[in-house]
């Protein structure tokens, strides 16, 4: 679509104005939008941001030599490119990635907001999922007393009807 003002360049800025309950759409090129005083947000390249975070993370020589047996990418290549080569890389580079995530996000597990309409039912489901992960970890590391305690807690939450 061409700019509605100059009719020469591609319209990349799309404005919707509502005046007196009347909707009006305008399609402008960047030059015409600037001339009209429309603020244009800069485009953000997420790969550049990730690369910057990885460069800021001081990796030991040990981490730099890590290499994925499936795709062959090294941790040093990942740091320079800003992207992983295959899903297996998350396991191979788990330790240095965890350090980066802790520095960037302050945590390694997503605990984002829940919609209010989700109610306590979703919160209960989330708690059960976390408990099941803890149970699996306890069994794998042969901490059977802790596993039994977590199993009982899961059973109690399930029978109490906290989650469905």
Digit-coded pLDDT (tens) for 68-110:
888 888 888 887 777 888 888 888 888 888 877 777 777 766 6
Report helix, strand or coil for 67: strand
Note whether residue 70 is domain-resident: yes
Please give the residue range of the domain that contains residue 22.
1-43
Q: Which two tokens stand for residue 113?
A: 């907001």
Note whether residue 111 is domain-resident: no
Note whether residue 110 is domain-resident: no
Note whether residue 147 is domain-resident: yes
Note whether residue 3 is domain-resident: yes
pTM: 0.36
* pLDDT (0 to 100) of residue 164: 44
- Note whether 99 and 128 are same-domain residues: no
Cα dist. 163→121, 122, 154 in Å? 5, 8, 10
- Note whether 86 and 126 are same-domain residues: no
What residues are paired with 19 via a beta bridge? 22
Tell me the per-residue pLDDT of 37-80, one tens digit each, with 9 for 90 and over: 887 765 555 556 565 555 555 554 557 678 888 888 888 888 77
């Amino acid at each position: 679509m061409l700019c509605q003002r100059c009719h020469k360049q591609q319209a990349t800025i799309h404005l919707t104005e509502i005046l007196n309950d009347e909707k009006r759409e305008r399609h402008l090129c960047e030059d015409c939008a600037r001339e009209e005083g429309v603020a244009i947000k800069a485009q953000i390249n997420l790969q550049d941001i990730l690369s910057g975070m990885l460069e800021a993370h001081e990796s030991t020589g040990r981490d730099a030599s890590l290499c994925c047996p499936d795709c062959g990418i090294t941790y040093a290549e990942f740091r320079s490119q800003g992207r992983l080569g295959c899903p297996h890389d998350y396991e191979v580079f788990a330790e240095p990635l965890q350090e980066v995530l802790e520095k960037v996000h302050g945590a390694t597990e997503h605990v984002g907001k829940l919609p209010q309409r989700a109610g306590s039912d979703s919160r209960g489901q989330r708690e059960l999922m976390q408990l099941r992960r803890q149970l699996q970890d306890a069994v794998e590391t042969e901490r059977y007393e802790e596993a039994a305690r977590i199993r009982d807690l899961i059973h109690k939450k399930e029978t109490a009807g906290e989650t469905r």
